[in-house]
């Protein structure tokens, strides 16, 4: 009955449809039996795809336990299907099976698909191949180390970003800015997550530009993980998260990971929703902020193109054609005459500035030149103001440190006082317990058992009582400045909330191992940190709108390719 129904609907041969439905039924039963067997015995089923000369109509299934090594699986496949063991390679999850690791270690699971590649080589070729495998393994290890350095470099930069006491003239650091280029305030914990997310994203984008998709994808997925730690309100107000979804799906496409179609659909829908929240229903919010939306159209071209690709591979030809036509229309709008770029290059602008400026100004060279110049001046002014703000903040911290407070306490007080030095000092003087409880920094800990007579005399000379002066110096570990400031602020006595010990002094606050541990002075560690940071900084683009810049060469080829696929499918359907 089903065969008749679908053969009439699809205008196909009823016998062919019946065969396909029967195959689906058998596969479902086969898979269910295999799943039950795996749950009860732990024996997994692997679907083995043989080379063309041995391929049969039915699937080739192989049962095995997952704790065996790749070498043992290769031997089992060779024995079962009649290969010479050293003349085959096994590919699982788009990766070559590593012989020395177990299947579990390599992520092999029940119902996984394995492809057998048959080799026809001499012994000499095999030796060369072995050397090649070693080189590939070494290259994989290098990539793994590179990813570790990326992680280390980003963690260092994220830490510097949350500390806000680094000298921008001496120490490289990253900052988070809005669409206009101004720094934005974000809570420290969320700031670190956002910094790591954006850092991994930029690193992944750098690999994308070099077409190293295999190493780009892990960076982009790490970025996605850290973005998920940020609040939803933040993700709805910036386009970074949406752009990341596009980059991940572009990686899926370039790596040929068609098994990720479902995830691609979710990510593309999420990107579309984020763009709508961020830019407004008809880009009105974007136009209000930037004055135009020409540059951002590049993102929508990529979105429509990827939606077209996903729909095509999902069998939705009508939706695929619609999305691809949208992408093609945007490509025509965004195409830039190379002679116009050359004109702007002669005026001293970069190719990137030229492309972005022309798209922002609908291809008008004069308007683009003015737009680029104005943006340069605006950014230079903003950077100058942000640099001055950072300098004042560092000066305020140094001022409080000069009064005897630690960097950590000074930073906390300034944060509570919104950067106002006088207000921060009032907060510290009004609440010395805050200073005591938070100050585990050894830089202010003099740990004097008994205050010196000279220091006591200094406070007495200022008009304070001898016993009170001695008690204050014990509390503040011999720091005359802090003792004098606190006594003066409290009318010559110590605040009652300070928990004095029987001996008249506070017990020292316990310091955690991380507080007391000094940084390594080994030059090798410093060199490794510097190398890791520099690798990150090399891939951070100078232009804040780098993510909007594209020559669209890859997109042009891909649009034409998939439109031809859709048209061929349409023609074949008509013929049938």
Residue 233 pLDDT level (bands cut at 50, 70, 90)? confident
245, pLDDT greater than 90: yes
Cross-strand partners of 62: 46
The winner for highest mean pLDDT among 229-238, 254-263, 429-438 is 254-263
Give the span between the Cα atoms of 424 and 437, in whole angstroms. 17
304, pLDDT greater than 90: yes
**DSSP assignment string, 116-182:** EEE----HHHHHHHHHHHHHHHHHHHHHHHHHHHHHHHHHHHHHHHHH--S-TTTS-----B-TTS-
Which residues, 6 or more positions from 490, have their beta carbon under 8 angstroms from its beta carbon? Answer: none
Segment among 80-89, 249-258, 286-295, 333-342 with least mean pLDDT: 286-295
Residue 547 pLDDT level (bands cut at 50, 70, 90)? confident
**Residues 164-191: tens digit of each pLDDT:** 544 555 455 566 666 666 666 676 667 7
Give the span between the Cα atoms of 195 and 540, in whole angstroms. 12
Which residues, 6 or more positions from 430, have their beta carbon under 8 angstroms from its beta carbon? Answer: 489
Quick one: how far is CA 51 from the chain centroid?
39
Residue 295 CB-density burial (10 A; 0-12 exposed, 13-18 middle, 19+ buried): buried
Q: Which residue would you say has higher pLDDT here, 443 or 373?
A: 373
- For position 419, what pLDDT does the model report? 76
250, pLDDT greater than 80: yes
Q: What mean pLDDT is reported for the chain? A: 78
Residue 523 pLDDT level (bands cut at 50, 70, 90)? low
Alpha helices in 280-337 (DSSP H): 284-290, 297-313, 317-334
Report which DSSP code applies to 12.
Answer: -
**Residues 459-499: tens digit of each pLDDT:** 777 777 888 877 777 777 667 777 777 777 777 777 665 55
- For position 576, what pLDDT does the model report? 61
For the sheet containing 60-64, what is the strand order? 60-64, 44-49, 113-118, 88-92, 95-96
- For position 191, what pLDDT does the model report? 77
Residue 444 pLDDT level (bands cut at 50, 70, 90)? very low
- For position 544, what pLDDT does the model report? 78
Q: Helix (H, G, I), strand (E, B), or coil: what is residue 63?
A: strand
- For position 564, what pLDDT does the model report? 92
Give the span between the Cα atoms of 199 and 533, in whole angstroms. 11
- For position 498, what pLDDT does the model report? 59
The distance between the two most distant Cα atoms of the chain, rounded to a whole number of Å, is 110
Radius of gyration of the chain (CA): 33
Which residues, 6 or more positions from 423, have their beta carbon under 8 angstroms from its beta carbon? Answer: 417
Give the span between the Cα atoms of 336 and 331, in whole angstroms. 10
Give the span between the Cα atoms of 275 and 119, in whole angstroms. 49
**Interval 559-569 mean pLDDT:** 90
Give the span between the Cα atoms of 304 and 322, in whole angstroms. 9
Which residues, 6 or more positions from 384, have their beta carbon under 8 angstroms from its beta carbon? Answer: none
Q: Helix (H, G, I), strand (E, B), or coil: what is residue 504?
A: coil
Give the span between the Cα atoms of 173 and 241, in whole angstroms. 22
- For position 176, what pLDDT does the model report? 67
- For position 183, what pLDDT does the model report? 66
218, pLDDT greater than 60: yes
- For position 232, what pLDDT does the model report? 77
**Cα 312-317-322 angle, rounded to 5 deg:** 95
Q: Which residue would you say has higher pLDDT here, 36 or 254?
A: 254
437, pLDDT greater than 80: no
- For position 312, what pLDDT does the model report? 92
Cross-strand partners of 92: 95, 114
% of the chain with per-residue pLDDT over 70: 79
Which residues, 6 or more positions from 370, have their beta carbon under 8 angstroms from its beta carbon? Answer: none
Report which DSSP code applies to 539.
Answer: T
408, pLDDT greater than 60: yes
- For position 474, what pLDDT does the model report? 75
Residue 340 pLDDT level (bands cut at 50, 70, 90)? very high
**Residues 196-206: tens digit of each pLDDT:** 888 889 889 99
**Residues 347-378: tens digit of each pLDDT:** 999 998 999 899 888 889 999 999 989 988 88
**DSSP assignment string, 76-129:** HHHHHHT--GGGEEEEETTEEPPTTSBTTTTT--TT-EEEEEE----HHHHHHH
- CA distances to 75, 237, 239, 293, 302 from 298, rounded to whole Å, are 50, 19, 13, 10, 6
- For position 55, what pLDDT does the model report? 62
CB atoms within 10 A of CB 21: 13
**Cα 364-367-372 angle, rounded to 5 deg:** 115
**Interval 290-313 mean pLDDT:** 87
**Interval 61-73 mean pLDDT:** 90
Segment among 72-81, 193-202, 320-329, 520-529 with least mean pLDDT: 520-529
- CA distances to 28, 38, 151, 234 from 110, rounded to whole Å, are 15, 7, 32, 40
111, pLDDT greater than 70: yes
- For position 193, what pLDDT does the model report? 82
Residue 308 pLDDT level (bands cut at 50, 70, 90)? very high
- For position 300, what pLDDT does the model report? 92
**Cα 371-375-378 angle, rounded to 5 deg:** 140
Q: Which of 306, 256, 313 is nearest to 566 (CA)?
A: 313
The winner for highest mean pLDDT among 200-204, 278-282, 420-424, 469-473 is 200-204
- For position 483, what pLDDT does the model report? 75
Q: Which of 171, 162, 165 is nearest to 195 (CA)?
A: 162
**Interval 280-295 mean pLDDT:** 68
Q: Which residue would you say has higher pLDDT here, 301 or 171?
A: 301
């Amino acid at each position: 009955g089903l065969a008749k129904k679908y053969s009439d609907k699809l205008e196909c041969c009823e016998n062919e449809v019946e065969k396909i439905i029967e195959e689906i039924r058998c596969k479902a039963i086969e898979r269910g039996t295999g799943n039950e067997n795996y749950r009860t015995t732990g024996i997994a089923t692997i679907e083995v795809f043989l080379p063309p000369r041995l391929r049969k109509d039915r699937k080739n299934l192989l049962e095995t336990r997952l704790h065996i090594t790749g070498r043992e699986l290769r031997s089992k496949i060779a024995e079962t299907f009649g290969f010479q063991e050293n003349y085959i390679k096994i590919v699982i999850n788009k990766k070559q099976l590593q012989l020395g690791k177990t299947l579990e270690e390599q992520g092999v699971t029940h119902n996984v698909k394995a492809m057998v590649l048959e080799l026809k080589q001499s012994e000499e070729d095999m030796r060369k191949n072995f050397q090649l495998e070693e080189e590939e393994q070494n290259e994989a290890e290098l990539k793994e180390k590179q990813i570790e350095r990326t992680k280390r470099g980003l963690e260092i930069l994220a830490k510097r970003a949350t500390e806000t006491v680094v000298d921008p003239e001496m120490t490289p650091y990253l900052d988070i800015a809005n669409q206009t280029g101004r720094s934005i305030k974000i809570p420290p914990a969320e700031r670190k997550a956002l910094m790591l997310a954006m850092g991994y994203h930029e690193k992944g984008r750098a690999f994308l530009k070099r077409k190293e998709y295999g190493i780009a994808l892990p960076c982009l997925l790490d970025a996605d993980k850290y973005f998920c730690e940020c609040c939803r309100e933040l993700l709805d107000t910036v386009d970074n998260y949406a752009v990341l979804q596009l980059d991940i799906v572009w990686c899926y496409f370039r790596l040929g990971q068609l098994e990720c179609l479902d995830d691609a659909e979710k990510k593309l829908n999420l990107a579309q929703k984020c763009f709508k929240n961020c830019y407004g229903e008809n880009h009105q919010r974007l136009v209000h902020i930037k004055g135009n939306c020409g540059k951002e159209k590049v993102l929508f071209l990529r979105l429509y193109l990827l939606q077209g690709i996903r729909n095509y591979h999902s069998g939705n030809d009508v939706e695929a054609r619609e999305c691809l036509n949208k992408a093609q229309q945007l490509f025509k709008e965004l195409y830039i005459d190379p002679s116009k770029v050359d004109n702007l290059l002669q005026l001293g602008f970069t190719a990137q500035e030229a492309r972005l400026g022309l798209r922002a100004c609908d291809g008008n060279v004069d308007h683009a030149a003015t737009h680029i110049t104005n943006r340069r001046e605006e950014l230079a002014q903003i950077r100058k103001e942000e640099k001055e703000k950072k300098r004042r903040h560092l000066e305020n911290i140094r001022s409080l440190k000069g009064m005897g407070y630690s960097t950590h306490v000074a930073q906390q007080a300034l944060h509570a006082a919104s950067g106002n030095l006088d207000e921060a000092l009032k907060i510290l003087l009004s609440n010395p317990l805050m200073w005591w409880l938070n100050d585990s920094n050894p830089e202010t800990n003099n740990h004097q058992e008994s205050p010196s007579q000279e220091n006591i005399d200094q406070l007495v000379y200022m008009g304070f009582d001898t016993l009170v002066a001695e008690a204050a110096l014990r509390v503040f570990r011999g720091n005359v400045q802090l003792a004098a400031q606190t006594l003066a602020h409290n009318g010559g006595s110590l605040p009652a909330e300070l928990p004095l010990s029987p001996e008249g002094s506070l017990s020292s606050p316990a310091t955690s191992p991380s507080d007391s541990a000094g940084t390594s002075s080994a030059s090798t560690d410093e060199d490794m940190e510097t190398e890791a940071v520099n690798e990150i900084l090399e891939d951070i683009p100078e232009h804040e709108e780098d993510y909007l810049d594209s020559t669209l060469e890859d997109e042009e080829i891909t649009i034409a390719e998939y439109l031809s696929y859709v048209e061929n499918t349409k023609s074949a359907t008509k013929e049938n």
